[in-house]
Amino acid sequence: MPRNLMDRFIDTIEWIAAIFVGLVAADIFVSVLLRYFFAASIPDSYDLGRMLLGILIFWGIAATSYRGTHITVDLLYTSVGPRAQRWTDVFATSVLLFVVTVQTYTLFDKVRQTRIDNVLTYDLNLPTWPAFAIAWIGDVSAVLLIAIRTYRLIFHPEQMARGHESPHSETARS
């Protein structure tokens, strides 16, 4: 099945999130090895690790929000029919879109203020605002993907049945 531009965009965001998972894991692994075997540490390891983790969180929000793979409570959801499930998905995704949009707006202010204040890392005196900006771009990506999900849930629910986008994709196909 040929992939359209939107699906490739979604896949790219997911790959970026996966790369940050790998970077966080590598940072932790190397830091532990250096500490355990050589009694040494990477300069700014703590600062870099927490910034990478922050970036990972925001890009992870983007990846999980579109697919609908974040934590859900299905007690009421499973007891209603497919039509009510679809509108529950639309409502929940709309609320998520609002919350993440507000979060993105406030995070931009944090990026701006961090740059103005010239916040630096402890050892190497590296500016921290670029890491905040990368996290903010992940948050912007989350807003875009949640907006796409909301649009598709309302107008093209069959596009959400591509496979693993929704835990309830079987109901979307019928």
Higher-confidence position of 54 and 9 = 54
- CA dist 56 and 50 (Å) reads 10
Can you say whether the dihedral through the CA atoms of 108, 114, 118, 120 is positive or negative? negative
The two three-digit tokens of residue 130, written as one number: 């670029």
Whether the predicted pLDDT of 74 surpasses 80? no
Q: Which has the higher per-residue pLDDT, 74 or 4?
A: 4
Place of tokens 């970026």: 16
What's the domain count of the chain?
1
Q: In 3D, which of 85, 62, 61, 94 has the Cα closest to residue 166?
A: 85
Q: Exposed/middle/buried for 78, CB within 10 Å: 0-12, 13-18, 19+?
A: exposed
- Asked whether 171 and 84 are in contact (CB, 8 A), the reply is no
How big is the CA angle at 159 (ends 157 and 163), to the nearest 5 degrees? 110
Containing structural domain, residue 10:
5-173
- Which pLDDT tens digit goes with each residue over 122-164? 999 999 999 999 999 999 999 999 999 999 999 988 877 544 4
Nearest-angstrom CA–CA distance, 113 and 139: 17
3 state SS of 120: strand
Distance in angstroms (rounded) separating the CA atoms of residues 64 and 77 = 19
Cβ-contact 51, 128 below 8 angstroms: yes
What are phi and psi for residue 106, nearest 5 degrees?
Answer: -70, -35
More confident residue, 156 or 107: 107
What helix, strand, coil percent values describe the chain, rounded to 5? 75, 0, 25
Tens-place pLDDT, residues 42-72: 999 999 999 999 999 999 888 888 876 666 6
